[in-house]
Amino acid sequence: MSDICKATKNNIKRAAEIIRTGGLVAFPTETVYGLGADVYNAKAVAGIFAAKGRPAFNPLISHIADIDFLSEYVQTDERSVALAKRFWPGPFTMVLKRKDHNGAMDLACAGLPTATVRMPNHPVALELIRESGVPIVAPSANRSQTISPTTAEHVEESLGGRIDMILDGGACSVGVESSIVDVSSSDVVLLRAGGIAVEEIEDFLGQKVIISHGEPDRPSSPGQMLRHYAPSHKLRINVEKPEEGEFYIGFGWQNNADLNLSPDGDLNEAAANLFAYMRLADEMAGDKGIAIAPIPETGLGLAINDRIRRASYNK
Ligand code: TXA
Ligand code: MG
């Protein structure tokens, strides 16, 4: 039986011991909960794919706690180090060329010549990584193709009984996954919109970021698969006026919403509420399904619209 444990110092130590000995631990980050394993333990990494029911050969993000560690296993340059210093710890993930040809990492990297790295901005995640002494590879802690978890209870609902431990650090503050940026060539390519707005990355670099939408059946980032974040009800997006009987998720001031992502129209607040509200809506909706109000396509709105567009995609 997996178990929700409060993220006390002692439980983080126990969790680190589980990671070191090849087990699986779900832990909080500022974006969503991750399902963690030792990046160098291929058997443990395989266990992640099995627990999630995820198609294999899907590269995973390594989580580190110290920028200096970066140069040990990926090729860094001035630009990637500057990006790391600017956006870490935080919801920002870089795809970089591998340097470490340790075959044990092949599964985590899905056999690609690149590795994908981020430093999460959450004290529990950082302490767990430091205690474990290895980078922790972690996809979102949910069954494949279901909504990402932003609380320990969501993890339990999805993966309970399949993993060794769930560290409970409360609700995630950002609420959508990290932005993934491929910096392994001279271009900067956004593979997944996420918790850092693309405008911020462009402002910092003084360079345009190429937005990649991927090909639905051959995505370079499987987060680009069309139907990825899925409630079980039909979902309509960009809805100003819901139909009779539809469960309506609003944004900004609205008096007819069943739930409102942010009555003040704050996109950061909306991102933090998004996945929890999609779950609630899925539980409460009837035959008519769910409708979501239009969300502006700026700042974190890009990530929010990306997730709800995928969730609305018909089977
Ligand atoms: O916020 C997050 O990023 C969370 C927390 C736990 O850190 N993690 C997360 O991981 O969302 P996951 O595995 O659910 O999504 C990572 C996405 C996947 O779609 C994966 O295919 C893509 O990143 N990815 C990873 N490495 C890649 C690479 N080298 N090239 C292309 N896509 C890559
Ligand atoms: Mg995921």
Instruction: Provide the residue-wise pLDDT of the chain in tens; the chain has 315 residues.
Output: 558 999 999 999 999 999 999 999 999 999 999 999 999 998 899 899 889 987 666 789 999 999 998 988 899 999 999 999 999 999 999 999 998 677 778 888 887 889 999 999 999 999 999 999 999 999 999 998 889 999 999 999 999 999 999 999 999 999 999 999 999 999 999 999 999 999 999 999 999 999 986 544 444 555 555 555 678 899 999 999 999 999 999 999 888 999 999 999 999 999 999 988 998 999 999 999 999 999 999 999 999 998 899 888 864
Give burial (CB, 10 Å; 0-12/13-18/19+) of 208. Answer: exposed
The answer to the question of residue 283 being in a domain is yes
Residues 132, 256 within the same domain: no
CB 149 near ligand 1, within 6 Å: no
Instruction: Give me ligand 1 centre to Cα 287, in Å.
Output: 33
The number of distinct structural domains making up the chain is 2
Q: Which domain holds residue 275?
A: 235-312
Instruction: Give me ligand 1 centre to Cα 246, in Å.
Output: 33
Q: Which atom of ligand 1 is nearest to the CA of 225?
A: 19
Nearest to 125 by CA among 16, 51, 231: 16
Residues 81, 27 within the same domain: yes
CB 138 near ligand 1, within 6 Å: yes
Residues 59, 157 within the same domain: yes
Separation of alpha carbons 188 and 126, rounded Å: 27
Residues 6 or more apart whose CB falls under 8 angstroms from that of 274 comprise 175, 176, 261, 304, 307, 308
Of 211, 226, 243, which residue is a domain's last? 211
Residues 269, 165 within the same domain: no
Question: How many residues belong to the chain?
Answer: 315
Report the residue among 57, 60, 61 best suited for mutation to probe ligand 1: largest number of ligand atoms under 8 A from its CB.
61
Cβ(172)–Cβ(31) under 8 Å?
A: yes
- 299: alpha, beta or left? (left if phi > 0; alpha if psi -120 to 50): left
Residues 120, 262 within the same domain: no
Of 158, 178, 211, which residue is a domain's last? 211
Residues 151, 107 within the same domain: yes
pTM over 0.85: yes
Report the residue among 180, 184, 212, 227 best suited for mutation to probe ligand 1: largest number of ligand atoms under 8 A from its CB.
180
